[in-house]
Copies of this chain bind each other. A is one copy, B any other.
Amino acid sequence: MDTLKRALSFDIGGTKTNYAVIDEEGNFITKKIKVPTPDSAEKIFEMFKSIIEENYSSIDIVTISTAGAVNLENTGVCSSTPNLPSGYPELEFSKLTDKKVFIENDANCAVWAEYKCGAAKGCNNTLIITLGTGIGGGVISNGEPVRGYTGAALEVGSMKIFADKRQKCTCGRYDCWESYASGTGLKNTAAAMAKTSPEYKTGLYKDKLPEELTTYDITDGVQKGDMFSIQVFNQWQEYIFVGLVSLVDIFNPEVVVISGGMGKFANIEMLEEKINKESVVAPVKIRHAEMGNDSGMIGAALLGLRFI
């Protein structure tokens, strides 16, 4: 008879919410179900509540992977969450049910999932970097997540990679790593390089304005051998490298996992070689993430199930 404990685990995103029942070994007990994220905090609360009621008898805990910083008690969100409805951070998640409700930041869930079941399995010191529209991060240090004083640690996208106010980030600050090395960063780099590149003027995108170049243009241009796209892409990878080698020197991880929508484009062999040549700490392995879109749900379930 199966005696493994089970979590009803949610991954709430700006447009979609995924959920499933997952056991303490990371197995899916139910299929993953995808529903639209409601457009108000009250409706989100009601959605959680009704799904919990449906699954009540077969679960031991409710776990939620969320955007934003989560308090140290893992009971609520304590930062703004721009992609979720106003009022969401103030929800009293513990009132959803009489079972324990455990909430954790999505990057911390993702690094835990990769550490327990994925690309960093068994590696007690692991760094995950999520390259998407912005850059997120999570760290396992000696087998435990690094969460910081208020649960907001690993805001690595805000790390500055220039000290002379060179480029304004969408956040209003200057020279955040994510304004150079995320998807937005690739677009920024393309726009900046187009202004001076001779290869742009004769290349695939000569009829597009610099500001109109998209991340897709560049990754597609690389596939097609467009020299300008290749130059932009290489500079983008140099920006990834500069931030990543700093983080490797700071955390001395055994493995770095690269995830996120833009992560799949990163040349991890090149990054690993270059970082291990430059870093002052022990050699590190760079890996693509293996847990995909389920990492939030699985990580939240496995983190939460430790406490019951």
The chain A residues found within 8 Å of chain B, CB to CB, are 69, 123-125, 137, 141-142, 144, 146-156, 158-164, 171, 173, 180, 238-239, 242-243, 245-247, 249-254, 278-282, 284
Contacts and interface: CB of A to CB of B under 8 A. Distances in A.
Contacts of A253: 148-149
Contacts of A281: 69, 148, 150, 152-153, 155
A61 to B, nearest CB: 21
Contacts of A160: 161, 242-243, 245-246
Contacts of A153: 141, 250-252, 281
A71 to B, nearest CB: 11
B146 A141 contact: yes
A250 B149 contact: no
A173 B161 CA distance: 15
Question: How many copies of the polypeptide does the oligomer hold?
Answer: 2
A251 to B, nearest CB: 6
Nearest to A126: B149
A125 B141 contact: no
Given A149-B254, A159-B250, 5 more contacts: A151-B252, A160-B161, A161-B162, A163-B238, A246-B246
B250 A156 contact: yes
A238 to B, nearest CB: 7
Given A238-B163, A281-B69, A249 B149 contact: no
A13 B172 CA distance: 44
A147 B141 contact: yes
Indicate the member of A148, A154, A242, A246 with the most B CB atoms within 10 Å: A148
A252 B159 contact: no
A248 to B, nearest CB: 9
Nearest to A245: B160
9 contacts: A141-B147, A147-B252, A150-B252, A151-B252, A153-B251, A160-B161, A162-B162, A162-B163, A163-B242
Contacts of A238: 163
A120 to B, nearest CB: 11
